[in-house]
Amino acid sequence: MENTINSSGPRQTEGLRRVLKTRDLVIFGMVFMAPVSAQTLYGSLAQVSNGHAVLSYVIGLIAMIFTAYSYGRMTEAFPIAGSTYTYTSRAIHPYLGFIAGWSMLLDYVLIPMLLYKLSAVYAIELFPSVPLWFMLLVFVVPVTIFNCIGTEVASKVNILMTGIMIVSILLFVGFAIKALLHGIGVGSIFSIQGIYNAQTFTWNSLIGGASIAVLSFLGFDAVTTMAEDSNVTGKIVGKAAVLSCVISAVLYIIQVYFATIVFPDFQSFKSADTAFFEITTVVGGSGLAIVLALIISLSGISTALAGQAAASRLLYGMGREQVLPKLFAHIHPKYKTPAYSILFMAVIGYIGAVAIDLSVMFLIIVFGALIGFLCVNLSVFIEYFVKRKKRNFSGFIFYVLCPLFGLFVCAYILWGMDRIGHIVGFSWLLVGFIYLSITSKGFSKKVNVFKDDSF
């Protein structure tokens, strides 16, 4: 069978229900990335980058925009569920595809955990007597129900929450401007200190900050996992991924810029996890802080909704091709959703949110994502430039320079990560390598990633 598929994807009766439009995909990506994620990450980001949160997001955007383009090209070539795993398997080799998918599993499994925990932490700021284990259930249960019912319901929730999150950003920026005009922080709306401070700047701290900023962008790639849930072409799915990445980046940079100039002393936060709560108290009092904390907590439902949906589609894609147990490929007969994969993600997400520290989650998630991004960038080069021989001038620009630049920037951020991220990440890859060697009988068994003729 040729290494191409029909853009219509699998037959409707055998696959997922195609209901998502272009708008839904863009919003899905934005919700997964969460316009307010810059607020939840700000304390750690400001401290690690030595006050250079804006530049950290700029570097993260540079890495992600080229990688988002690569995802778009691969979605156009293979518009089916599985995303990173599917692209690498078909463009390069099924074994490397498994490792790429395995690394992204680390990303997608942990992202819902992170979202549950961040939302619960902010909710506990409002309801301090509620224990963490119970507050987590408040987020995990409705997310799982919405995802099991179907993507159409989840899409409506996403639209509502996106609007609420954007309103919260406008509220913060408005109060921040008012505070600056009254002499709070640097006392000026426009200040270079919000972007660059020569006294605290170092390249190591900036790359460290970028590795955290990348967390906010983890979500544009999830748009491509929903290819079989959408009723548009693979090319449009790819454009939706790029567009959601760019819009979100603008929102992130605006928030962290004003947070930096309103509260320039990034070392004096009482808690890095809730630093933005302290900043909103400074600019708008406890009333604004409570409103924004509530919105951040509620946004966790929609963001985790997207995260759990994306993870379940990755499990579905790998289960359907039997590189993971086939039960992950089960489709609910009524709702046409990968029900077992969704339930599995709910259980794992809850347990991990209770047991794993936030700082450790940050590092591990970035490692898994960057490995997957490296593979997708390389897949564009192999699929288009090598296999399809797109070797004219435009081919050299779009299929050599763009993906290889994305690969280089991702590799540079990966290299500059904290050691614990490397240790846990490579340990996870080792487990995947061992699992693959066992299931492939010492790499002697041929793996066929084209098991469904509808591909």
CATH number at residue 83: 1.20.1740.10
Taking the model in full, what pTM does it have?
0.71
Q: Does residue 264 fall inside a structural domain?
A: yes
CA–CA separation, 101 vs 105, rounded Å? 6
Count of structural domains, the chain: 1
pLDDT in tens, 79-113: 765 578 888 988 998 889 888 888 877 777 777 78
Residue 179: pLDDT band with limits 50, 70, 90: very high
Q: Does residue 430 fall inside a structural domain?
A: yes
Q: Does residue 2 fall inside a structural domain?
A: no
Per-residue DSSP letter, 447: P
**Cβ–Cβ < 8 Å for 370, 413:** yes
Q: Does residue 5 fall inside a structural domain?
A: no
User: Which domain does 411 fall in, by range?
Assistant: 22-439
Residue 452: pLDDT band with limits 50, 70, 90: very low
CA–CA separation, 235 vs 380, rounded Å? 14
Closest CA to 246 of 64, 401, 24, 3: 64
pLDDT in tens, 388-446: 999 898 889 999 999 998 898 888 888 877 787 788 889 989 998 998 888 877 666 65
**Cβ–Cβ < 8 Å for 145, 355:** no
Q: Does residue 351 fall inside a structural domain?
A: yes
Structural tokens at position 108: 């997608």
CA–CA separation, 217 vs 166, rounded Å? 16
Q: Does residue 17 fall inside a structural domain?
A: no
For 316, the 3-state DSSP assignment is helix
Longest Cα separation, the chain: 71
Q: Does residue 13 fall inside a structural domain?
A: no
Q: Does residue 452 fall inside a structural domain?
A: no
Phi, psi of 389 (to 5 degrees): 55, 45
